[in-house]
Amino acid sequence: MIHIHETIEQLNQRLMRGETTREALVAGALEAAGLPAAKSVFTKMYPEAALAAARAADASHKAGVRLPALAGLPVSIKDLYGVAGETTMAGSVVCQGEPAQTHDAPVVARLRSAGSAIVGKTNMTEFAFSGIGINPHYGTPVNPTDQTVARVPGGSSSGAGVSVALGLSVAGLGSDTGGSIRIPAALCGIVGFKSTQNRVPLEGALELSRALDTVCAMTRSVQDCITVDAVLSGALLPVRRRPIAGMRLAVPQTMVLDGLDHTVAQAFDRSLSILSNAGAQIIEIPLTEFADIPKVNSPGGLSPIEAYAVHHERLARAQAQFDQRVAARVMLGAPITAQQYIALLDKRRAWIASVERAIEGFDALMCPTVPTVAPELEKLIASDDAFFKANGQMLRNTFTINLLDGCSYSLPCHREGELPVGLMLSSVHGDDARLSAVALAVEDALSAHR
């Protein structure tokens, strides 16, 4: 059975050499999706359509047609995106009976136009509202990186992350509102890219927070993220490769380094040493603006306020059918007035300007993606207190960049035999191309010492 643990680039090289076919890759991915390790990863499968896309790409290749990078390769899409003829469930049961989508979401249509073999819709936290990935309705995909203890996959794009980590897809289309791409990428040992929000169209994605939602994906490498982003956005990032030597990487000293567990602290310190030895300038900066986030994001919080606006009718109709942990967070937005909401948006705008001034002149911000390794699943299912504590920890560092309306990568920085740890590289709004060049250089430096 074929599990795909190669990059899109490597697979296309093998396909050019005739060592495999797209049909074989997709058939292997579909077969592996039926194994126990893949339980609860997908909520819906598209085997016939995926195999048809793979066969069509193989036939075009045989006829000498030059194909796009994703043509005929297995890709997964989060159960947040509209597919023509289907009701978007978004990890919930509350949406049952709501109207079917009349057309594909733009990003789904773009993946199809690129020839992708969409193998299925992936499981997720209900309505994308948690960094843990637990789903009481459809089960929770188990993090595949620990064979001894069942650990959380990270959320909300849980199935998307596990589909890539298990080799069931070359890319997992997800979303990132407070960290929902970068958290599962970090916990599952893969790469996640949260682009600047307005880079990729949000249409056709079931909304959580219109101020923060970002359409983006996880893959096995930075270059693969750049390749997939070009399809999702419709425009290739003009990335100019640069050497790591001389790059100025800022490490904020406020909040993001608090409470790191031993594995994360060790991997992060080791990464700083590797990058410094490779010639990067590692510069500690206070960035005290991060301490202001609770004040800026109050009362209620942007996500709960906007989520309540989206879901208040569903809550009124069927609150008992919600994941009660999700319902509790959405309800935080219920009492907030329009006056308070607009004041929050104004505070955010001023905070963004302050942070942008503080980090001007640096190539990227750098910190651990999340402060701990993946928590044990059963403990968080059993205890609300443990769940909400862990959820806050998971989202703490990643949310800073959503609030900034910036762009961000999570790269694996652990070593063989260690639980996965993510290194987060971030920058300001619209700096996606320059940040991608930094991420490529950092990835090269770290992979030489894995």
Examine the residue annotation and report whether 354 is marked as an active-site residue of this protein. Answer: no
**CA within 13 Å, CB half, 31:** 10
Q: Is residue 329 a contact partner of residue 310, using CB atoms and an 8 Å limit?
A: no
Domain count, the chain: 1
Residue 55 domain-assigned? yes
Pull the structure tokens for residue 163: 């589909």
Q: What is the pLDDT of residues 208-239, one digit of tens each?
A: 999 999 999 999 999 999 999 999 999 999 99
Is 180 an active-site residue? yes
Catalytic residue, chosen from 130, 156, 271, 303, is: 156
Cβ partners under 8 Å of residue 116, min gap 6 = 53, 70, 71, 72, 73, 74, 75, 231
- The secondary structure of the chain, three-state, reads CCCCCCCHHHHHHHHHCCCCCHHHHHHHHHHHCCCHHHCCCEEEECHHHHHHHHHHHHHHHHCCCCCCCCCCCEEEEECCECCCCCCCCCCCCCCCCCCCCCCCCHHHHHHHHCCCEEEEEECCCHHHCCCCCCCCCCCCCCCCCCCCCCECCCCCCHHHHHHHHCCCCCEEEEECCCCCCHHHHHHHCCEEEECCHHHCCCCCECCCCCCCCCEEEEECCHHHHHHHHHHHHCCCCCCCCCCCCCCEEEEECCCCCCCCCHHHHHHHHHHHHHHHHCCCEEEEECCHHHHHHHHHCCCCCHHHHHHHHHHHHHHHHHHHHCCHHHHHHHHCCCCCCHHHHHHHHHHHHHHHHHHHHHCCCCCEEEEECCCCCCCEHHHHHHCHHHHHHHHHHHHHHHHHHHHHCCEEEEEECCCCCCCCCEEEEEECCCCHHHHHHHHHHHHHHHHCCC
| Residue 3: predicted pLDDT | 63
Handedness of CA 219, 158, 406, 186 (dihedral sign): negative
Does some domain include residue 233?
yes
β-bridge mates for residue 191, sequence order:
219
Per the residue annotation, which of 180, 233, 410, 426 is the catalytic one? 180
Say how far apart CA 185 and CA 325 lie, in whole Å.
Answer: 23
Note the pLDDT tens digit of each residue in 338-347.
999 999 999 9
R_g of the chain computed on alpha carbons: 21
Q: What are phi and psi of 63, to 5 degrees?
A: -85, 0
Q: Which residue of the set 40, 76, 78, 436 is catalytic?
A: 78
Supply the range of the domain harboring residue 71: 1-287+357-450
Residue 449 has a pLDDT of 87
Assigned domain for 221 exists: yes
**Residue 349 forms part of a structural domain:** no
- As a whole number of angstroms, the distance between CA 178 and CA 370 comes to 12
Cβ neighbours around 102 below 10 Å, total: 8
Cβ–Cβ under 8 Å, residues 29 and 5 = no
Tell me the backbone φ, ψ of residue 437, rounded to 5 degrees: -65, -40
Is 40 labeled as catalytic in the residue annotation?
A: no
326, part of any domain: no
pLDDT given at position 2: 52
Query: Rounded to 5 degrees, what angle do the CA atoms 94, 143, 319 make?
Result: 15
Residue 269 within any structural domain of the chain: yes
Ranges under pLDDT 50 in the chain: 1
Amino acid at 171: A
Neighbours of 447 (CB within 10 A): 12
Q: Is residue 430 part of a domain?
A: yes
Q: What confidence score (pLDDT) does residue 1 get?
A: 46
Q: Domain with 35 in it: what CATH number?
A: 3.90.1300.10
Q: Partners of 423 in the beta sheet?
A: 368, 411
Query: Does 150 map to a domain?
Result: yes
* Burial state string for 69-99 with b = 16 or more CB within 10 A and e = fewer than 16: bbbbbbbbbbbbbbbeeeebbbbbebbeeee
